[in-house]
């Protein structure tokens, strides 16, 4: 824990290999809230751009390879201080 | 060791059970690049019955990623509808001893529950998130394994959801909608290419379609072989076909998933009412069964509520939709704005425009509509409650041949 209320989490970019964003977040933060934060421009540019129409980002805890769903908190997902969370961009088209 | 010349000798060595596969029915929704590659593998592998559903037609640019693109003489014979042309081509490749091919040139939602009758596994090869959500929900309700896939440039993704058996598993096992809750952008495949291009999505190329088609077919076959040593949990598989980088993620159940986490828990009561009878006839027959005035439920989660009138999203005029919500979501426009719904010149003061349920007290105009019009085709499964709130599951009359054409005589 970085303090009593937050954990340090490293987010991996879905397409830019090796690009990480480190953030102190509440263990009660949900997957949806975390993604909203990653798409917010804090003045230095957003880590993620909004996904294309119809696509969604998904999160997975790298240590366990388990998904973190939109309404699941990081605590419920078993995320601990220092963990790495991967951001996935699921495929959309099927070849129309 | 000398290998046998028996047709399935290699498949047996790979662990397949050809007899089981010959008795299996795989429903492939979407006959674009992915659907063709997946279905072709299943046809060759010995699946007994394939069902191909797609509302789209071939265009010239599809040729580069369409193993079943019809030759000129086939275009004259079968036409350019993807479902029909693909069914005709793949029927000849099927290796099962008594193969059967069915197809439908339609939206899967239009076919309703009957499309899933007798099915062993559901494979999604569609573009639309709305259709994916529908298929995920229907697979869960019918207790079927669900395999889904998609492309994003060189990246391919496949998600597999084993069959959820019984009430407890249906409630607790992850579904596709657990991780895909925002299904805006629910445009249909007909408009997909243009919208996708505008949104920066790179369409499929054949190499990606072939790889993903192989993965989907193998996942469907594994779903039929629960005794094989194969992953049994819900999982996502990502692969970049250029770098070879891959990973597997174990999927989780969302505590507030908007999807259907319920399975049909009883055999349905067969009805005399058919899709071409009126809603009033349906309600009267169900009332006789439940012993009181029946209330027909049109599930919100399945986008099945009846939209009677709605404002066109282009011009704002009142459109006479008279169809389930999914139909309106796909093309929310009136005829004057290139949509399918006529402008409504009538108004029924006091009558709602949206119906999540229907009773014999509902708008008489609605009661005079046919079941098919309100989204209940042949073999639809419908739930109704009586005055004591006890519910029962019913099946509309009809047959599979009213939903699918036979691809065996093409």
On chain A, the residues whose CB falls within 8 A of the CB of B64 are: none
pLDDT exceeds cutoff 70 at B407: yes
CA distance A51 to chain B (A): 9
pLDDT exceeds cutoff 80 at B117: yes
Q: In which band, very low, low, confident or very high, does the pLDDT at B388 lie, cut at 50, 70 and 90?
A: confident
Cβ–Cβ of B184/A54 closer than 8 Å? yes
On chain B, the residues whose CB falls within 8 A of the CB of A95 are: 32-35, 65, 125, 151, 203-204, 209
Cβ–Cβ of A70/B155 closer than 8 Å? no
pLDDT exceeds cutoff 60 at B190: no
Question: Strand locations in A1-96, DSSP E?
Answer: 7-12, 20-25, 57-61, 66-68, 84-89
The overall pTM is greater than 0.80: yes
Chain A residue set in contact with B, beta carbons under 8 Å: 32, 52-56, 58, 60, 64-72, 76-77, 86, 88-96
Q: In which band, very low, low, confident or very high, does the pLDDT at A50 lie, cut at 50, 70 and 90?
A: confident
B248 forms beta bridges with B237
B 366-395 residues inside an 8 A Cβ radius of A: none
Q: In which band, very low, low, confident or very high, does the pLDDT at B89 lie, cut at 50, 70 and 90?
A: very high
Q: In which band, very low, low, confident or very high, does the pLDDT at B199 lie, cut at 50, 70 and 90?
A: low
Q: In which band, very low, low, confident or very high, does the pLDDT at A45 lie, cut at 50, 70 and 90?
A: confident
B28/A contact by beta carbon, under 8 A = no
Cβ–Cβ of B34/A88 closer than 8 Å? no
On chain A, the residues whose CB falls within 8 A of the CB of B199 are: 52-54
Q: Tell me the pLDDT tens digit for each residue of B268-291.
A: 999 999 999 999 999 999 999 999
B179/A contact by beta carbon, under 8 A = yes
Q: Tell me the pLDDT tens digit for each residue of B36-79.
A: 999 999 999 999 999 999 999 999 999 999 999 999 999 999 99
Given B183, B203, B251, which is nearest A67 (Cβ)? B251
| φ, ψ dihedrals at A40, nearest 5° | -95, 135
Residue of chain B whose Cα is closest to the Cα of A50:
B199
B194/A contact by beta carbon, under 8 A = no
Q: What is the mean pLDDT of residues B253-270?
A: 95
The percent helix, strand, coil of chain A (3-state, each to 5) is 10, 30, 60
Q: In which band, very low, low, confident or very high, does the pLDDT at B345 lie, cut at 50, 70 and 90?
A: confident
């Amino acid at each position: 824990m970085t303090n009593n209320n937050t954990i340090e989490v490293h987010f991996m970019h879905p397409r830019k290999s090796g690009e990480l964003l480190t953030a102190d977040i509440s263990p009660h933060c949900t997957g949806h809230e975390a993604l909203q934060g990653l798409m917010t421009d804090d003045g230095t540019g957003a880590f993620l751009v909004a996904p294309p129409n119809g696509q969604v980002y998904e999160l997975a805890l790298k240590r366990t390879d388990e998904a973190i769903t939109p309404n699941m908190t990081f605590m419920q997902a078993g995320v601990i201080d220092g963990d790495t969370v991967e951001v996935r961009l699921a495929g959309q088209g099927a070849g129309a | 060791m000398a290998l046998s010349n028996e047709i399935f000798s290699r498949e047996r060595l790979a662990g397949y059970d050809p007899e089981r596969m010959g008795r299996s029915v795989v429903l492939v929704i979407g006959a674009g690049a992915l659907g063709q590659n997946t279905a072709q593998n299943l046809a060759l592998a010995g699946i007994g019955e394939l069902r191909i559903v797609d509302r789209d037609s071939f265009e010239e640019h599809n040729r580069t990623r369409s193993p079943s693109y019809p030759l000129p003489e086939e275009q004259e014979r079968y036409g350019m509808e993807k479902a029909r042309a693909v069914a005709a081509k793949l029927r000849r490749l099927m290796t099962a001893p008594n193969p059967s091919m069915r197809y439908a040139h339609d939206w899967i939602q239009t076919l309703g529950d009957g499309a899933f009758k007798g099915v062993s596994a559901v494979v999604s090869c569609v573009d639309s998130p709305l259709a994916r959500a529908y298929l995920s929900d229907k697979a869960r309700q019918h207790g079927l394994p669900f395999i889904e896939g998609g492309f994003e440039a060189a990246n391919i993704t496949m998600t597999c959801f084993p069959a959820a058996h019984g009430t407890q598993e249906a409630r607790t096992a992850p579904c596709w909608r657990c991780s895909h809750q925002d299904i805006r952008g629910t445009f249909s495949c007909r408009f997909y290419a243009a919208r996708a291009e505008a949104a920066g999505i790179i369409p499929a190329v054949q190499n990606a379609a072939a790889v993903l088609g192989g993965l989907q077919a193998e996942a469907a076959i594994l779903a039929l072989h629960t005794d094989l040593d194969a992953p049994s949990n819900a999982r996502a598989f990502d692969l970049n076909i250029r770098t070879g980088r891959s990973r597997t993620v174990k999927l989780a159940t969302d505590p507030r998933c908007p999807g259907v986490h319920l399975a049909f828990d009883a055999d349905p009561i067969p009805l005399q009412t058919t899709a071409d009878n009126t809603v009033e006839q349906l309600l009267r027959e169900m009332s006789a069964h439940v012993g009181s005035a029946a209330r027909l439920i049109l599930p919100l989660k399945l986008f099945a509520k009846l939209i009677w009138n709605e404002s066109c999203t282009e011009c704002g005029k009142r459109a006479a939709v008279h169809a389930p919500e999914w139909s309106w979501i796909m093309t929310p426009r009136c005829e004057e704005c290139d949509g399918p719904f006529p402008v409504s010149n009538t108004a029924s003061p006091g009558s709602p425009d949206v119906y999540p349920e229907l009773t014999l007290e509902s708008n008489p105009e609605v009661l005079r509509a046919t079941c098919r019009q309100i989204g209940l085709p042949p073999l639809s499964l419908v739930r109704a409650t009586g005055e004591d709130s006890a519910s029962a599951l019913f099946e509309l009359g009809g047959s599979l041949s009213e939903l699918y054409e036979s691809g065996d005589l093409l």
